[in-house]
Amino acid sequence: MEIQRKPPRDRGSMKKGDCDTMKKFLALILTLAMALSVTACGGSDDTADDTADGEGSGTEETADYASMTDDELKAAITTVEGGKLTVATSPDFAPYEFYAIDENGDPQLAGFDMDLAQYIADYLGLSLEIVPMDFDGTIMELQNGNVDLGMAGYSPDPKRADSMDFSDIYITGGQSFVCLESNKDQFTSLEDANNPDYQIGAQVGSIQADLAHKNTPDADVIELTKVPDIIAELVTGKLDGAFIETMVAESYATQYPELCLVLEVPYDAEGSVVGVSKGNAALLEGVNRAIAAAKEDGSFDQYVVNAVDLASGDYAYLQDGEIVQQ
């Protein structure tokens, strides 16, 4: 079967009727295009409005915890375990936190940090759980979100800001360079300690370790896990000196009169803070309110007096999971 085909029309020879039809068709296409454009623009505006209003953006407005009443704040606070405040500490840092030996010869957690932890828990209507560990472990547990607070004589070091939020400073203090009384004449300045022949001690992961590396970079800086280990190395002459927080050094000096706080160490952020789990703004506000209340009613001052008194007696510390008497 043969199929007949019409000869192709010359593209340059369109008839008038065909031209009118084409104009109408183009006009229709243009109208539809404009309508679609308006609809699209309207959709963009709606999306922008939603985003500006915080709807559809996947974010929630930050609550104004500072303006809440205490009861409202308590209801807003979340913790690792409901109804409980979990606190990591390193009990080798008298008078901040340590094991005091009671009249029966048994070790009991003590120190003004521990008393303050209980005050904070009571203020917030929570039970308290203290989790003892090495100092660097307290920072890691906070960073991993396994505990609510870290209380271990923290200084508000900016390098720790990624691991925790800082409370208000609750006690001011200083840093000291410690040596044996018999050697104090060797150290008239920190420059004297910056000697490659000297071994200088500091606690692992601490501000004191940073200060040791900063002030005595030429010395052999030895970082030890526990402050009691540093004291033992000093007393036996294995260390020539050490960087230790001033109140802690004073506490150990009551036990070891051969120790000498020979030099003050310059440090910008003098003072201690509570480490709060990162991003828990409600808990941070609650901790700051509790600290302010403890200082205002005189409780904290009494905690310090009690801790210093206990630290002048027999006490112990945690070593490899075991409580070792000093």
User: Predicted confidence band at 317 (pLDDT cuts at 50, 70, 90)?
Assistant: low
Question: Which CATH superfamily hosts domain 175-265?
Answer: Periplasmic binding protein-like II (3.40.190.10)
pLDDT tops 60 at residue 29: no
192-214 mean pLDDT: 96
The residue ranking higher by pLDDT, 106 or 115, is: 115
Give 32's Cβ-side CA count (13 Å radius): 6
pLDDT tops 50 at residue 44: no
Please state which CATH number belongs to domain 66-172+271-319.
Answer: 3.40.190.10
* pTM of the predicted model over 0.85: no
Residue type, 91: P
Alpha carbons 132 and 96: distance in angstroms, whole number? 13
* Residue 294, pLDDT score: 98
pLDDT tops 90 at residue 36: no
Alpha carbons 226 and 229: distance in angstroms, whole number? 5
Residue 315 in contact with residue 98, Cβ under 8 Å? yes
**Residue range(s) in the chain whose domain bears CATH number 3.40.190.10:** 66-172+271-319, 175-265
Pairing of strands 164-166, 273-277: antiparallel
Tens of pLDDT along 7-22? 333 333 344 444 444 4
Ranges of H-type helices in 54-187: 70-76, 112-123, 135-143
- Number of Cβ atoms within 10 Å of the Cβ of 265: 21
The residue among 97, 225, 227 whose CA lies nearest residue 149 is 97
